[in-house]
Amino acid sequence: MLELKGIRKVFNRGTPDESVLFDGFDLSVAEGEFVSIVGSNGSGKTTLLNLISGTVAPEAGRIFLRGQDVTAQKEFVRARRIARVFQDPAGGMAGGMTVAENMAIAENKGRRYGLSAGLNKKRVAAYRDLLRPLGLGLEDKMNVPVGALSGGQRQVLTLLVATMTPVDVLLLDEHTAALDPKTAEQTMALTDAIVREKKITTLMVTHNLRFAAGYGTRLCMFDKGKIVLDVSGEEKAQKQVDDLLSLFNEISVECGN
């Protein structure tokens, strides 16, 4: 479904600070897999998501989405098949526009943005029904600018909105990191519910080892651009947070931290 082959990614190329992050990196994700990715800072987790979404281009290697080579495709073209939620709650929405307007934009993804009315009463009612089950009170805030919502409300909304239209891949970039523990927990549970219900192939970068162990069907641990642990199914189910933590500490010690 999603395949990265022989990826090479270098930062600060041609300067004394040149550093090779990925060299001959391969990753293959099957249809419907929910991959949790953990690793220390600078291990290449976010860069991986950036490579997949097209925000940065690899120096070498190819990226395939459902068998189609998308390496040369621009970010906005690739985005038609990819949804992404960022760590920063302000990242995925227009803060100055209302909840309803943001939802209307998202719902139209993949279609033409022409001169027909952006919103109508019927759609707003439909959006309200979509928000009501969340229990966050968002259904009463249809005309409130998204920027005025709390970080948790925004992140949940971003998640919901990103998956309103069918996409091939969902990329979650530490999407619970900026939230308080309780809200993070709720957001994570909602994420799991959405991914299961819509059967979306998902890559989730997280620093929360408990989320990584508890959710998803596959777990990858990154270190300096390499996958040092890759488990799925039964094997993953047996991995406890403590196992991950000790491996994580081992890597960090190797780094000299």
Partner 1 sequence: MYFLNQLSTVLQMGFIYAIVGLGVYITYKILDFPDLSVDGTFPLGGVVFSVLLTAGCPWPVAMLVSFFAGAAAGLVTGVLHVKLKINGLLAGIITMTALVSVNLLIAGGPQVSFSQETTLLNNGFLNGLARTAANYMQVLFILLIVALCKVLLDLFLKTKSGFLLRATGDNPQLVTQMGKNTDNYKMLGLSLANGIVALAGSLYCQYSASYSSNMGTGTVVIALACVIIGCVIAKHIRVMANTTGVVIGALIYYAILSVAMLLLGSDYTRLIVAVLFVIVLLFDTGLIGRTVKKLFRKRNKEDGDARA
**Site mask for partner 1 (CB under 8 A), range 29-68, x = bound:** ----------------------------------------
Residue 92 beta carbon to partner 1: minimum distance, rounded to whole angstroms: 6
Closer residue to partner 1 in complex, CB, 12/116:
116
Token pair 């039964």 is found at 234
Site for partner 1 in 94-113 (CB under 8 A): 94-97, 101-102, 104-106, 108-110, 112-113
Backbone CA torsion sign across 7, 53, 173, 36? negative
75 binds partner 1 (CB under 8 A): yes
Which stretch of DSSP H or E encloses residue 202?
A: strand 201-205
Q: Does 166 bind partner 1 (CB under 8 A)?
A: no
90: three-class secondary structure by DSSP = coil
Beta-bridge partner residues of 220: 37, 230
The yes or no reply on residue 117 touching partner 1 (CB under 8 A) is yes
122 binds partner 1 (CB under 8 A): no
Query: What is the residue whose two structure tokens read 């759609």?
Result: 123
Task: Figure out which of the listed residues 45, 84, 154, 175 binds partner 1, where binding follows CB under 8 A.
Answer: 84
Q: In the bound complex, what is the minimum distance in angstroms from residue 102's beta carbon to partner 1?
A: 8
Contact 205, 173 (CB under 8 A): yes
Cα Rg, the chain, nearest whole Å = 19
Q: Is 160 one of the binding residues for partner 1 (CB under 8 A)?
A: no
Strand partners, 25: 7
Query: 130 CB contacts (<8 Å, ≥6 apart)?
Result: 103, 160, 164
- Chain positions contacting partner 1, by CB under 8 A: 74-77, 79-80, 83-84, 86, 90-97, 101-102, 104-106, 108-110, 112-119, 162
